[in-house]
Homo-oligomer: A and B are copies of this chain.
Amino acid sequence: VTAGRLFVVGLGPGDRSLLTPQAAEALRQAEVVVGYEGYFAWIEELVRGKDCLRLPLGQERERSRLAVDRAAAGSCVAVISSGDPGIYAMASILLETLPASRPPEVTVVPGVSALTAAAALLGAPLGHDFAAISLSDLLTPWAVIEKRLTAVAAADFVLAVFNPKSQRRDWQLRRAQEILLTHREPQTPVGIVRHAFRPGQSVVRTTLAAMADAEVDMFSILFVGNSTSRWEGDHFLTPRGYDVRAAEEGR
């Protein structure tokens, strides 16, 4: 049996207007499509007649094993991921699942990430150096997460927070706020986007001082500004640099 082929396909945030032609083409080529059941509604007519393995939320390792097994048996398989598959999504776990001997060829098809889609709805929060941190301590010790929050706060990065809260994790966001407040002003802009470019989309404009009181869940992404970020009307604006006129004059 010839080893098959694996595509890890970024579908973008959900709206078909943000699904790329390259992602659609990978789905057309696939014989088997593996993914979270909720994503199939976005691409129903693109995968009609294909072998669709619709799996429940979580179970990323099982999804990966299924996909790798089907590719090893010779099929062309697409693993679907919302956003971009490389950011808190399927690309990493799928590559971890590959067999050492004769692995199928893997192609990662990038997508519009939830990160930039959510940012676009706010304006330009990521206008300068930034960091992304997940507050989920399921696979990462909380001590590591705290260390990263402290580093980001002290070095004046814009911060994008993923997985801020779930039903079982309810104190991490408040702790993150405490850490950020030791280095940044209470009035620092915070934007919270939920379900960017999906039904139920919401955008909340608030501040670091108030962010832990906002309604957030595992579908929310939070943006915390750096020391130069500000609201310009409804737009979250992080300037692309600091005032370094003096430095420029010296060049």
**Given the complex of chains A and B, what is the CA–CA distance between A218 and B243 in angstroms?**
22
Question: Does residue A247 face the partner (Cβ distance < 8 Å to B)?
Answer: yes
Query: Please, which residue of chain B has its CB at the minimum distance from the CB of A243?
Result: B139
Q: Enumerate A114-141 residues with CB–CB distance to B below 8 Å.
A: 116-117, 119-121, 123-134, 137-141
Residues of B within 8 A of A19 (CB): 20-21
Contact with B along A92-113 (1 / 0, CB 8 A): 1111101000010010111111
**Given the complex of chains A and B, what is the CA–CA distance between A139 and B133 in angstroms?**
25
Residues of B within 8 A of A205 (CB): none
Question: Does residue A148 face the partner (Cβ distance < 8 Å to B)?
Answer: yes
Q: Are B155's CB and A148's CB within 8 A? A: yes
Contact of A106 among B18, B137, B235 (CB under 8 A): B235
Of the 9-residue stretches A9-17, A29-37, A43-51, A170-178, which lies at the interface with chain B? A9-17
Residues of B within 8 A of A232 (CB): 95-96, 98
Residue among A84, A121, A233 facing the most chain B CB atoms (10 A cut-off) = A84
Given A20-B20, A96-B232, A140-B241, 17 more pairs with CB closer than 8 A: A19-B21, A86-B120, A86-B126, A91-B120, A95-B123, A96-B239, A98-B233, A108-B119, A110-B116, A110-B120, A111-B112, A113-B113, A129-B134, A131-B152, A131-B157, A138-B248, A148-B155
A-B contact pairs, 30 of them (CB 8 A): A10-B112, A10-B116, A10-B120, A12-B20, A19-B20, A20-B20, A85-B120, A86-B120, A88-B240, A91-B123, A91-B124, A91-B127, A94-B124, A95-B237, A96-B237, A103-B233, A106-B123, A108-B123, A108-B124, A110-B116, A110-B117, A129-B131, A129-B148, A131-B157, A137-B244, A139-B240, A139-B242, A139-B244, A144-B242, A151-B157
Which 9 A-B residue pairs are closest in the complex by CB-CB distance?
Answer: A139-B241, A92-B127, A151-B155, A17-B22, A108-B120, A91-B124, A151-B151, A92-B124, A131-B131
